[in-house]
Amino acid sequence: MNTKIIEALNKDRADELSAIIQYMKHHYEAEGMESPGIIDLAKDIAKDEMKHAERLGERINYLGGVPTKNVSPIFEGGDLKNMINDDLHKEIEAIMQYKEHIKLAKEEEDFTTRLMLEEILSDEERHADIWEKVLGLRNE
C-alpha cells in the first residue's frame, strides 16, 4: 500500500466532494437574468465532479485505502458573479493540485493513477475554461 498516493487521492476526493456541494448549491441558489444558463452549467459540472469523486474512491479502495467522506471548505455567498468566481477559484486550485499529484504518481511509478489523474485534470481545465469564458476573461 502506497500511503503517499492514498493520502493525495483522499485530498483530491475531499476537494471533489466539496466541489459537488458547492456547484449544486450554486445551481439551486443562482438568481438573476443570466442565471438560467449558469445553473445548467453548475449542475453539469457537479455531475462531472461526482464522477471524479467516484473514480478516486474506487482507486483508493483498490490501493488498499479507505476513501474519505470528509469535505474540503466550500465557498459560498454572494451574487451570481461571486459564485462563478468562487467556482473558477476552486477549479484553478484543483488544476494546480492535480498537477502536483500527477508528478507524485509518476515518481511513485503508479502509472494507472497518473493516467486517471491526467484525465481528471483535463476535465478540470475544461471547467476553468468555461468559467473564464462566462466571466469574459477568455475569448471563445
pLDDT one-digit tens code per residue, 92-121:
999 999 999 999 999 999 999 999 999 999
How far apart CA 2 and CA 18 sit, in angstroms, is 24
pTM: 0.93
pLDDT band at 126 (very low <50, low <70, confident <90, very high): very high
pLDDT band at 35 (very low <50, low <70, confident <90, very high): confident
Share of the chain above pLDDT 70, in %: 97
Is residue 19 over pLDDT 80?
yes
Summarised one tens digit per residue, pLDDT across range 42-69 is 999 999 999 999 999 999 999 999 999 9
- The dihedral built from the CA positions of residue 119, 123, 128 and 129, taken in this order, carries a sign that is positive
Task: Report whether 71 contacts 18 (CB < 8 A).
Answer: yes
Share the mean pLDDT of the chain: 94
Kindly tell me the burial class for residue 18, based on how many C-beta atoms sit within 10 Å of its own C-beta (0-12, 13-18, 19 or more): buried
Q: CATH class for domain 3-134?
A: mainly alpha
- Other C-beta atoms closer than 10 Å to the C-beta of 115 total 12
CA torsion angle 106 107 112 115 (round to 10): -20
Is residue 140 over pLDDT 80?
no
How far apart CA 107 and CA 74 sit, in angstroms, is 31
Is residue 138 over pLDDT 80?
no
Domain boundaries, the chain: 3-134
